[in-house]
Amino acid sequence: MSDPTFFARSALLAVPLYLLLVVVLRGTSAILKHAIAVVAALALAVALVLMLPPGSLSYFTTFLLMGSVYAVLTLGLNVQWGYTGLFNIGIAAFFAIGAFTSALVTTVEPTGSMAAFTQQLFGLGAPFWVGLLAAGLASGLLALIVGGPTLRLRGDYLAIATIGIGELVRLVFQNERWLANGPQPLRGLPQPLSCLASSEGCSYLPGFVNAFFEPLSPREYPYIYVAIVAIVLFLVYVGLERAIRSPWGRVLRAVREDEDSAAMSGKNVAAFRMQAFVVGAVIMGIGGSLYAHYVVAIDYGHFDPLYGTFLIWVMLMLGGSGNNRGAVLGALLVWAIWTGASFAIDALRPTLASISPELPQRGPYVRFLLISLLMLFIVLYRPRGVLPEEKVVSLARD
Amino acid sequence: MTEAPTISRGRAFRRAASHALSSRWSLLALLGLLAVLVIVFGALEGIPASRLLGLTVRGILLGGALALGALGITLVFGVLKMANFAHGDYMTTGAYLGLVVMALIPASAPVLGLGFGYEFVIALLIVMPLTGLVAYGLDRVTFRRLRKRRAAPIMMAMAALGLAFGVRSIIYMVFGADFTFYYQGGPRPIVELLPGLRVRTDQLFILAAAVVLIFLVYLLLERTKIGKAMRAMADNSDLARISGIATERVVFWTWLISGGLAGAGGMLYALDVQLRPEMGWWLLLPLFAAVILGSIGNVYGALFGAFTMGIVWQVSSAFVNPAYGPAAAFVVMILALLVRPQGLMGRDK
């Protein structure tokens, strides 16, 4: 407790824990639930900060951060595949559009000698939340354009069309220098509230807030960002849960189960498919924005079909498609396997080297294989995932 | 009473009009229109006609390798009713198996004015059944289980996606991520087909080999009992099953043939361009564009689509960055689907 950052770090870590508890706790009155959640989250956060060595704690924080970013992307896929049955294997396209839109909206177009190194279509220098909304908007717009000619097609045609969009978008960001500096990275994305972790503090916040976070150094920024990501994830989750329990969500599931009988009940199947596709894409775009502002520098390589699409599919399938809790759980589990595997492979380096001297440097591909086998295992043996879809009762309407 | 016929006549007229708009001929007209646009824009941009002609010939040569891949996809779809997204990676597998086999057998001097010796042809003949067996073996451990469970086709496609990434990761582990060639820095003989139109002799070999293999597949499908059984399965699998066709045998031959063609296509494509672990994933887009343009499940449609997409891929490079070639094939596929969703050879609705 002698560490001056103790209070600030505990308070920040309590935010994601509190939101998690609010979602998980059931069967109590609302006020009691929130009270329990606040107390338990603070206690847990304090315990974590006290008990874990500083290295492990910051590792845990960045793990939670990236896991939550992927959870947002997985929730987006859950709307499309889990609830509506749209086979989108071009998640990377919406992920990338969100990330690059947010980058263009929040950065400032370079001038003078810097302009020779960085080219971009525009740079508005807007705040983070504007970038976040613009990312969702741009991604939704792309879905609207793509969905027009492809959503009326059969499932596997839509799959190939979305693969095409994923590749096309990546190629554009790779080859069009004027758009977003491709193939070079677009750097210097602003990080929201990063001023809290700097010595000056945030001029727009009251003095006592700045004083509370004063001890934090820029190295501890992930503690701030994990709270922001958790809030966005929570809002997306709660919004989706409400939407899925509404009559709208019921129609989506009807479309997934039996298109013809949904159409016979007078539902405009094409319109509902389009709505689900666009809503999912908006969420993916928001996920892209969250990702971009964490990594600060983005280029086309981040949106490879493996990291940008396949990993998210494994997350949803493992967690349980058609279940929002499952989507979030799957994202955290697969991210744990993905990052944990890289530790295991590092530890196995001597063994790998004894098989072939080339193998240790190809270690990253071992986890690539592991995640593919995981996907095959789920599809073959556990197609419903860890948390299978539950029977959903629509909210009463009066 | 008197109004009813008028309504139905109006409806019939509208139906006939929409039929005409989505007929086979309007799809061909669309492709013709694209060709005209290419010529007009080529003239406006000052691209010489000889360059466009040269690219078209290159496209036909590339179409040979694409056709082998597209045939496999369409056969698997026809018989097993699944979109095999791992097919591109089976082509990569074939290409890298070729690299291994060629390292094991003695190399001869280049023959017949080509850039390679007999060992390439021998390797091709060894790799084809090997890749076919790999494809069948993977079916045994994955798709067969799903078929037995009567899983939805979309779950098969998802398993195929898992296989695609799994196969590629094994190739990364064994061969590394760098690109390589069969003949590093070897001779690349060139022949002048027409005045000013030069192609590599290797590329002519690729087309010739593809044509021979396509002809063999034609004979197999039309003249043999197993070919007949495969066509019966493609036409109506339930009827085929109750007529006593041994479906697992048909499944075995389907994978052996389509895997074998994928292996050959991968080796031939790699001979022309390079070997790369990602090559199969990048080929997936033009391959499916070809198959869908021609009507998925239809063998002749796939051939037409493959050569069309080969030409589209190459000719587009006169106008845009060549990296967009596969994407250009994809855009043409989307346009074609807007006109005729069932593809060229599909049944009229």
Note the pLDDT tens digit of each residue in B50-106.
Answer: 788 888 888 898 899 999 999 999 999 988 888 899 999 999 999 999 999 988 887
**What percentage of chain B has pLDDT greater than the value 90?**
31
What pLDDT does residue B87 have?
95
Q: What is the mean pLDDT of chain A?
A: 86
| B41-45: long-range contacts, CB 8 A cutoff, minimum separation 24 | B41/B319, B42/B318, B42/B319, B45/B319
- Judging contacts by C-beta atoms under 8 Å, the chain A residues touching residue B330 are 164, 167-168
Does pLDDT of A147 surpass 60?
Answer: yes
Q: Is B161 in contact with A310 (Cβ distance < 8 A)?
A: yes
Note the pLDDT tens digit of each residue in A276-328.
Answer: 999 999 999 999 999 999 998 898 888 988 888 999 999 999 998 889 999 99
Does pLDDT of B10 surpass 70?
Answer: no
CA distance B344 to chain A (A): 15
At CA B286, angle to CA B285 and CA B288, rounded to 5? 65
Contact in structure between B179 and B107 (CB atoms under 8 Å): no
- Mean pLDDT score, A78-83: 92
Least confidently predicted of A202-206, B120-124, B203-207:
A202-206
Instruction: Kindly provide the ipTM of the predicted complex, given to two decimals.
Output: 0.87
Q: Is A205 left (phi over 0), alpha (psi -120 to 50) or beta?
A: beta
Residue to test with chain A: of B150, B169, B342, most A Cβ within 10 A: B169
Evaluate whether residue A70 is within a structural domain: no
Q: How sure is the predictor about B7, in pLDDT bands with cuts at 50, 70 and 90? A: low
Note the pLDDT tens digit of each residue in B216-274.
Answer: 999 998 888 888 888 888 877 778 778 777 788 888 999 999 999 999 999 999 988 88
What pLDDT does residue B165 have?
93
Does pLDDT of A153 surpass 80?
Answer: no
Evaluate whether residue A61 is within a structural domain: no
What pLDDT does residue B1 have?
41
Structure tokens at B208: 């010739």
Note the pLDDT tens digit of each residue in B197-226.
Answer: 777 888 888 899 999 999 999 999 888 888
Evaluate whether residue A372 is within a structural domain: no
Nearest CB among A159, A171, A365 relative to B324 is that of A171
First to last CA, chain A: 53
First to last CA, chain B: 29
Note the pLDDT tens digit of each residue in A184-203.
Answer: 888 888 888 877 877 777 77
Evaluate whether residue A371 is within a structural domain: no
Contact in structure between A165 and A157 (CB atoms under 8 Å): no
Provide the domain count of chain A: 1
Evaluate whether residue A211 is within a structural domain: yes
Instruction: Identify the closest residue of chain A to B288 by CA–CA distance.
Output: A160
Q: Name the residue among A225, A226, A232, A235 with its Cα closest to residue A191.
A: A225
Does pLDDT of A397 surpass 60?
Answer: no
Which element (helix H / strand E) includes B192? strand B190-194
Least confidently predicted of A151-160, B135-144, B192-201:
B192-201
Does pLDDT of A65 surpass 60?
Answer: yes
Instruction: Identify the closest residue of chain A to B322 by CA–CA distance.
Output: A175
Q: Does A353 touch chain B (CB under 8 A)?
A: no
What pLDDT does residue A214 have?
78
- Judging contacts by C-beta atoms under 8 Å, the chain B residues touching residue A306 are 165
Question: What's chain B's length in residues?
Answer: 349
Contact in structure between A138 and A285 (CB atoms under 8 Å): yes
Q: Residue B200: beta bridge partners?
A: B190
Residue to test with chain A: of B165, B279, B281, most A Cβ within 10 A: B165
Higher pLDDT among residues A316 and B107, named by residue: A316
Q: Does B341 touch chain A (CB under 8 A)?
A: yes
Q: Does A89 touch chain B (CB under 8 A)?
A: yes
Does pLDDT of B3 surpass 70?
Answer: no
Evaluate whether residue A216 is within a structural domain: yes
Evaluate whether residue A26 is within a structural domain: no
Range of the domain at A286: 76-305
Cβ-Cβ pairs closer than 8 A, A with B, add up to 115
Does pLDDT of B113 surpass 80?
Answer: no
Does pLDDT of A20 surpass 50?
Answer: yes
What pLDDT does residue B18 have?
72
Evaluate whether residue A51 is within a structural domain: no
Q: How sure is the predictor about B46, in pLDDT bands with cuts at 50, 70 and 90? A: confident
Q: Name the residue among A309, A297, A279 with its Cα closest to residue B165.
A: A309
Q: What is the mean pLDDT of chain B?
A: 85
What pLDDT does residue A396 have?
53
